[in-house]
Amino acid sequence: MAKKTNPLGSLISFIAWLTGVIVSLSVGFGLIYGTLGLPNWLGGNIGIPEAAGWIVVLTTLLGAILAIVNRFR
């Protein structure tokens, strides 16, 4: 039996997903450009925030691309 989809629920899920992507990218770029930082005990004084920012950005983009591909598959 086919599952009924609620258009409003789908819209809300998409908005939540998009918000998560935007926030993740904002945090990643904040780490890259030095607006945000990590505490010293997490490597904040040795250049780790920039690397962590790139990891966040790349994994967010990869996750978004995979989600879009999965949606239309």
Give residue 45's Cα distance to chain centre: 24
Paired tokens of 61: 């983009």
Q: What is the mean pLDDT of residues 59-73?
A: 93
Mean pLDDT over residues 51-60, rounded?
A: 94
Per-residue pLDDT tens digits for 23-55: 999 999 998 998 888 888 877 777 778 888 999
pTM: predicted TM-score of the whole model, two decimal places: 0.80
pLDDT band (50, 70, 90) for residue 72 = confident
- Look at residue 41 in the predicted model and tell me its pLDDT: 81
pLDDT at 1: 52
Distance, in Å, from the CA atom of 40 to the CA atom of 55, rounded to the nearest integer, reads 19
